[in-house]
Chains A and B, each alone.
Chain A
Amino acid sequence: MGDEILIVDDDETLRQLLTHRLESAGYTVRVCEDGQAAADLLDTEYEPALAICDVMMPRLDGTRLVRMIRGGELTVRSDLPIVMLTSRGQEEHVLEGFDSGADDYVTKPFRAQELLARVRRYATA
């Protein structure tokens, strides 16, 4: 039985890519198109093992979503492992990402192997 992973990204290509990769590695994947949909989903009974989250999204962006989760505003556990994924490679943004509470931060272009390794590490921790 595969662990559940939540993918939150507004880019369709990326969602499909990640879904494909993670599913072939044995995980069960759910996707959300933006931060608000993810927030709504995480406010229900759903408890994924890990969430992969893009930073720039409409309605509710990644950084704020992570803060909401860490702040305990949603039903899901506040120590949910979160890996953030983004195009913003500048140092200050990376630090900002860590500051908001993400466990790890991956910039695009990313290595799928590496992402997978991080997922494995955090999801089973």
Chain B
Amino acid sequence: MHSTTHLAVTVFGVTGLFVLAYYLVVNGYYFCLHILALFELRDNVREANWDEPFRRFASPFYPGIALVVPAYNEAATIEESVQSMLSLNYPELEVVVVNDGSTDATLKKLVERFELKEIEAEVPFEVPSEEIHGTYRSTRYEELLVVDKVNGGKSDALNAGIWLTEMPLFCAVDSDTLIDRDALLQIVKPFLKRPGTTVATGGVIRVANECSVRDGLVKEVNLPKTGLPGLQVMEYLRAFYSGRLGLNRLNGLILISGAFGLFRTDVVREIGGYRHDTITEDFDIIVRLHRYLTDEGREYTVDFVPEPVAWTEVPSSRRVLGRQRRRWFRGMVETVVTNRGMLFNPSYGRVGTVIFPFFVAAEMFGPLIEGLGYIILPLAWYFGVLSIEFFIVFFLLTTGFGIFLSWFGVFSEVWSFNRYEDPRQIGRLLWYGVLENFGYRQWKTIVAWQGLLEYFRGVDSWGVMERGGFSVENHKDR
């Protein structure tokens, strides 16, 4: 008996210390990333301030972009979205809306509003997606192409769009993302700087809740009034500034959010497009691009444009948010497991040896271990193994340092693009930064564990995000 207790006590103690050490390292990683991000930001702001002295719209060398929009049961918002997409400021634009077997009036609304007529000819190529019922052209808007197909999920719909466009670049957008009028002009910049080597760029997503939106354009940037969306604003800011931007400096793995990314059409076709059996197809495709191009020995760059250009509505109910985050976590685990061959693999350069492993340690194992910490450390103290100070240190490392990183994120935003111009908004954001680390963060560790369990159980559902359009309150939870 005595030796079992002794063993248990030792295990507790060691685990507790391990958790602390782990957190020290992870926080060090985030801090370094954030510093790197600042350097990157300085260059980016300078570059954003430089207007290239040529008339873009009169240049025959500007690459054409196809906006690929998968739509499933979006009858409430589809007309407004597509109309605003057609008005985007860009020399050569094509809008491809893929109706993924909607059961509501989505297609009908499109046909009526944009005066669509069905093309009688068959599609002359093999498209790796579910069967296409028909393609439609508009008699008023020559840049619009609508594809009607059997339901197959978002990846499938994106593939249909990608295979049917003739544009050299495509931008995968969710139909409920609001895109700034000049967004494409911003996000195409890396392709203009290095036309031969850039294969993908990612744009920054901001939170649209409470912003006043007119005709599909964000007119006034406001902070959400209620807690959960506000916390997410803070979270998105921090994730971009200490996550993606810093990684970009290292020319590393970029998480191009599914809501807004620009890719080279031919290369994505070469890797077979988006995969159907992934949960987070955006993360998956970027990892696969890295693998493929490295395996082929091709020179390539993946870039990130920090100028905020797209807005999306985030869940305001805990239930929906939880579902979304569990799905993201499941998807991340799945992609990491599938691509585990890249971990610590020197043939993938810095991405394989340093960045991907750190990413996995911080983003995947991080929340899991933190969750453990919240249980083990108090228990260790209770059983007298570790003094209370250990727990306080843990708390400082997670929560305290977390607040610091959040505030650092807000500072980076103010220093660079300053989209929230009113100091009172900044004050609120800082407060959200505090709240984010007291409760929200801890809740997310629970979500991470749930996501992991769901992954092992093989849960595969998409979940339904209730959407109420932008001018209407979110639907009540059913």
Q: Do chains A and B touch in the complex (CB under 8 A)?
A: yes
B181 at the interface (CB under 8 A from A): yes
Query: Please, which residues of chain A bring their CB within 8 A of the CB of B215?
Result: 58-59
When the two chains form their complex, are residues A90 and B217 in contact, meaning their CB atoms are under 8 A apart?
no
B: number of interface residues (CB 8 Å): 14
Answer yes or no: B89 CB below 8 A from chain A CBs: yes
Give the distance in Å from the alpha carbon of A59 to the alpha carbon of B215 in the complex.
7
Q: Is B57 an interface residue (CB 8 A)?
A: yes
Find out whether the CB atom of A59 lies under 8 angstroms from the CB atom of B87: yes
Q: Does A87 contact B (CB under 8 A)?
A: yes
Contact of A58 among B57, B58, B91, B217 (CB under 8 A): B217
Does A104 belong to the interface (CB within 8 Å)? no
Interface residues in B55-86 by Cβ distance below 8 A to A read: 55-58, 60, 83-84
| Chain B residues closer than 8 Å to A88, beta-carbon distance | 57-58, 91
Report if A30 contacts B (CB, 8 A): no
Residue A89 is within 8 A (CB to CB) of chain B in the complex: yes
Q: In the complex, what distance in Å separates the CA atom of A59 from the CA atom of B217?
A: 10
**Interface residues as binary, A40-62 with B (CB distance below 8 Å gives 1, 0 otherwise):** 00000000000000001111010
Knowing A87-B55, A89-B55 touch, does A61 contact B60 (C-beta < 8 A)?
Answer: no
Chain B residue, CB-CB nearest to A56: B89
Say yes or no: is B140 at the interface (Cβ < 8 Å to chain A): yes
A20 within 8 A of B: no
By a CB distance below 8 angstroms, the chain A residues around B83 are 59
**Residue of chain A at shortest CB distance from B140:** A64
Report the separation of the CA atoms of residues A61 and B140 in the bound assembly, to the nearest whole angstrom.
11
The interface residues of chain B lying within 8 Å CB-to-CB of A59 are: 83, 87, 215
Min C-beta distance of B86 to chain A, whole Å: 9
* Contact call A90/B84, Cβ cutoff below 8 A: no
Q: How far is the CA of A90 from the CA of B60 in the complex (A)?
A: 8
Cβ of B55: which chain A residues have Cβ within 8 Å of it?
Answer: 87, 89, 108
Asked whether B84 lies within 8 Å of A58 as measured between CB atoms, the reply is yes
Give chain A nearest CB distance to B474 CB in angstroms.
26
Residue among A57, A58, A64 facing the most chain B CB atoms (10 A cut-off): A58
**Assembled-state Cα–Cα distance A87/B56 (Å):** 8
Bound-state Cα–Cα, A107 to B55, Å = 11
Cα A57 to Cα B140 with chains together (Å): 16
Which of A57, A89, A90, A107 is in CB contact (< 8 Å) with B87? A57
Residues of chain B within 8 A of A58, CB atoms compared: 84, 87, 181, 215, 217
A101 to chain B, nearest CB (A): 15
The residues in B between 192 and 220 inclusive whose CB is less than 8 angstroms from any CB of A are 215, 217
Bound: A84/B84 CA distance, A? 22
Q: How far is the CA of A87 from the CA of B140 in the complex (A)?
A: 22
Shortest Cβ gap from A79 to chain B (Å): 22
- Chain B residue with minimal CB distance to A88? B57
Q: Which of A84-107 contact B (CB under 8 A)?
A: 86-90, 107
Q: Which of B55, B57, B215, B217 has the most CB of A within 10 A?
A: B57
What is the minimal beta-carbon distance from B395 to any residue of chain A, in angstroms? 50
Indicate if the CB atoms of B87 and A87 lie closer than 8 Å: no
Task: Report the bound CA distance from A89 to B57 in whole Å.
Answer: 7
Task: List the A side residues contacting B56 at CB < 8 Å.
Answer: 87
Q: Are B58 and A87 in contact (CB under 8 A)?
A: yes
Report B-chain residues with C-beta under 8 Å of the C-beta of A61.
87
The minimal Cβ–Cβ distance linking B321 to chain A, given in whole angstroms, is 32
Closest to B88 in A: A58
Q: How far is the CA of A106 from the CA of B60 in the complex (A)?
A: 19
Query: Please, how many angstroms separate the alpha-carbon atoms of A23 and B56 in the complex?
Result: 31
Q: Cα distance A56–B140 when bound, in Å?
A: 15
CB neighbours (8 Å) of B87 from chain A are 57-59, 61
> Which residues of the other chain, B, contact A107 by a CB distance below 8 angstroms?
58
In the assembly, what is the distance between CA of A59 and CA of B55, in Å?
Answer: 24
The minimal Cβ–Cβ distance linking A91 to chain B, given in whole angstroms, is: 10
Q: Give min CB distance, A72 to chain B, whole Å.
A: 16
Question: Chain A residues with Cβ under 8 A from B181's Cβ?
Answer: 58
Interface string of B107-119 (1 = CB under 8 A from A): 0000000000000
Nearest chain-B residue to A55 (Cβ)?
A: B57
A100 CB to closest chain B CB (Å) equals 12
| Chain B nearest CB, measured from A35 CB (Å) | 9
CB distance from B113 to the nearest CB of A (A): 13
- Most chain-B Cβ atoms within 10 A of its Cβ — which of A57, A59, A88? A59
Provide 25 A-B residue pairs closer than 8 Å at the C-beta atoms, listed in order of the A residue: A56-B57, A56-B89, A57-B87, A58-B84, A58-B87, A58-B181, A58-B215, A59-B83, A59-B87, A59-B215, A61-B87, A86-B57, A87-B55, A87-B56, A87-B57, A87-B58, A88-B57, A88-B58, A88-B91, A89-B55, A89-B57, A89-B58, A90-B60, A107-B58, A108-B55
Q: Apart from A58-B181, A64-B140, what are 14 other A-B pairs with CB-CB below 8 Å?
A: A56-B89, A58-B87, A59-B83, A59-B87, A61-B87, A87-B55, A87-B56, A87-B58, A88-B57, A89-B55, A89-B57, A90-B58, A90-B60, A108-B55
